Chain A
Amino acid sequence: MISMIIAIAIFGFTYILIMTEWVNKMTAALFGGFLVVMLRLVGQEQAFESVDWNVIFLLIGMMMVMSVLKETGLFEYLAIKTAKAAQAKPVRIMLFMFFVTAFVSAFLDNVTTVMMLVPIALLIASELKISPVPFIITMAIASNIGGTATMIGDPPNIMIGSATDYSFIEFIYHLTPVILVIIASSLGITWLLYHKKMVVTNENRARLMDYNEANLIKNRKLLHRSLVVVGLMLTAFLLQSQLKLEISTIAMIAGLVLLIINNRKHVDQVLIHDIDWQTILFFSWLFMLVESLIATGVMDIAAKKIISSTGGNLKTTSFIILWFSGIFSAIVDNVPFVATMIPLIEKIGHGVSREAMNPVWWSLSLGACLGGNGTLIGASANIVSVGIANRNGFHISFKDFTKIGIIYMLNSLLISTLYIWLRYF
């Protein structure tokens, strides 16, 4: 009993440190992770075993793939092409960019996506002499929505995919349809919110149409090779169950092949700068921390409480998890939240068929990922995008972001509720 209280106390304290960032996030997780080992709440061996290497290596592999792809200039090319395809009409660019951001984010980490695309939106807005703020807010939102569509799009999905035996293709089968509906309705919301506000002169429009995006692809050979490797990787993801390979192995092989065929000099750059070791370590120690809750029995009690309060009804459980995750993720980082929820849901699912647990898992994913749009601090992509805007003299306050974000979040969660209800019950 005492060990449970200590475990909860350490967990709560670490969580507060992570939320407030009073100390560096990674240091806080590391400290909590080893504190539980030092206090013997969980044995060191067990704590180390709890680290989900599948998640860790998937993250590393995807970061390697990403950094080489980024170097090819493909994403900037895509963004400029999009703006030109929209004939430099602002609302149209916004809708197109929303879609492109969501699409890119389905395969790349959300933060990387916005760090790449938001500067281009700023450039476009500056050329068109319109405010970039609507672009920045909607792109952050799009990245959070798009990331939910696949197993590799957002950290919560990566963790759920690794903890459960759902394959890459099952994620697409269960999540992509609802995300497409959410994207379509979000585009509608975007149009309603902004279509009357943006006017652009023909002169400024011409400047944008004059962009020579072909110059962006400097190294065609690298681009072609990279696209082949990424194509093979995605195919392998889809055939994951036939190949009987874990997704992290596929991502690592793809990442390493890309590194090997790339410029030798670039390899150090990737290994030192482009792989976000802070995030990787943050994940590892988070697993250790959560393991202490499992080992001391806290998880068992919490799971029993939830089962008894919902009467074991999975429909009620799903909706509670969907909305609770959504609201919670709007306020705090969703990664530690999902790391905690996974063992909890595993316990709830004990003795229940895999089929019956479907809605519970997808509710967690949808809630945790889409809830991030609720406020400015709900997702890293929001914070990063607004940070870029602020640095360029466009101040976006918590309120500015939240009053737009909450509309998209409520819309997403309502559609998700409807989807879970209609599809699974």
Chain B
Amino acid sequence: MLLSSYLDADTIAFETSLKSTAEIYADQIGRINRHHKLPLPSPQIVDLVLARDAVSSTAYPSGLAIPHIRLDNFNDTVIAMTFLQNPADYNGTPARLVVLIITDKSSSKLYLNLVATLLKLSANPDIMSQLQQARDGGAVLGLLRKHNICVKTELTCSDIMDSDPITIRPEAKLRDLGNLMNERHVAGMPVVKSDGSYMGEVDVLNLLKVGIPDYMLMMDHLGFLGSFEPLEQLFVQEDIKTVGEIMVNDGITLDPSASIIEAVFEMIQHKKRFISVVRDHKLLGVITAMEVFRKVFKS
């Protein structure tokens, strides 16, 4: 989700004069109060934030301070931002941007993700100086949107994929494929070139199909056949045909940033039990239906 989606232009301020942290927090809480009902009176919250600051510093060397407080029964996460022309002093660490986060006691994941996003943002001097010069909340939101600053909210494919999957080269012979499937107990795998680029996928049905001629697949019924010699074709072809000849590339792959729901959707839609995770034609991993089930639904 975009960081800007969690912000209001109103809760972003630019402060030119030198202020103490207590004054900054009081201003920020006042701004938040215009939009959200906080469970405690403002001065009390300011005290709580200051008390939290005293435990350990909430400022970072990049010039960012993230004071925060967790409130009981708040059931929300709100943010206020103040850009300072005169840095505020956090026990010797100067902060030019103070971001106050008020959140619920239980919602730690979003809070941690917000912190991670803000830290990453503050490490980018380009964007930071643009933000400093923005001079009003609307412009800050516009810049955050423009640079596509996102807060990670959900698990993505890259979180649950197997990033070191079993793969095979297109030039490998069918015998190698068969042995690999047999030894590693996998029914399908991505096909990648030696430079790691994704070529397609191959599964046990592609392999078995080598033994069945095309004309048979056109028939509606095969009940009259007891045995069939062409299935022996598979043994003949094993050392001749390569994986590249039987693999399929249906164009269905996932980006590492794809959500789990998208992965599940694609799997059901296209009846696939595994999908390759690909970015810039390179295979990054494999996500299997069984892993989604284990890691997401069973955990």
Contacts and interface: CB of A to CB of B under 8 A. Distances in A.
Contact of B214 (A71, A211, A391): A391
Interface stretch (B219-227, B256-264, B289-297): B219-227
Contact of B220 (A76, A207, A211): A76
Contact of A73 (B221, B229, B230): B221
Nearest to B227: A207
B224 A216 contact: yes
A210 B218 contact: no
Interface in B196-241: 213-216, 218-221, 223-226, 229-230
B230 A213 contact: no
B215 A118 contact: yes
B220 A71 contact: yes
Contacts of B223: 73, 212, 215-216, 218
Nearest to B217: A119
Contact of A215 (B213, B218, B224, B229): B224
Interface in A111-138: 115, 118-120, 122-123, 126-127
A122 B215 contact: yes
A174 interface: no
A416 B225 CA distance: 42
Main SS at interface, chain A: helix
Contacts of B220: 70-71, 73, 76
Q: How large is the interface on B (under 10, 10 to 19, 20 to 34, 35 or more residues)?
A: 10 to 19
Contact of A126 (B213, B219, B221, B224): B213
Given A115-B218, A126-B230, A127-B229, A392 B224 contact: no
Q: How large is the interface on A (under 10, 10 to 19, 20 to 34, 35 or more residues)?
A: 20 to 34
B219 to A, nearest CB: 5
A280 interface: no
Given A119-B215, A122-B213, A391-B214, A212 B221 contact: no
A207 B226 CA distance: 10
Contact of B224 (A76, A115, A391): A76
A371 to B, nearest CB: 27
A388 interface: yes
B221 A218 contact: yes
B219 A120 contact: yes
Given A126-B213, A218-B221, A392-B215, A210 B230 contact: no
Contacts of A388: 214-215, 218
A69 B215 CA distance: 20
B213 A392 contact: yes
8 contacts: A70-B220, A76-B220, A76-B224, A211-B225, A212-B224, A216-B221, A218-B223, A388-B215
Interface of B: 213-216, 218-221, 223-226, 229-230
Given A218-B221, A388-B218, 4 more contacts: A71-B220, A211-B225, A212-B226, A216-B224
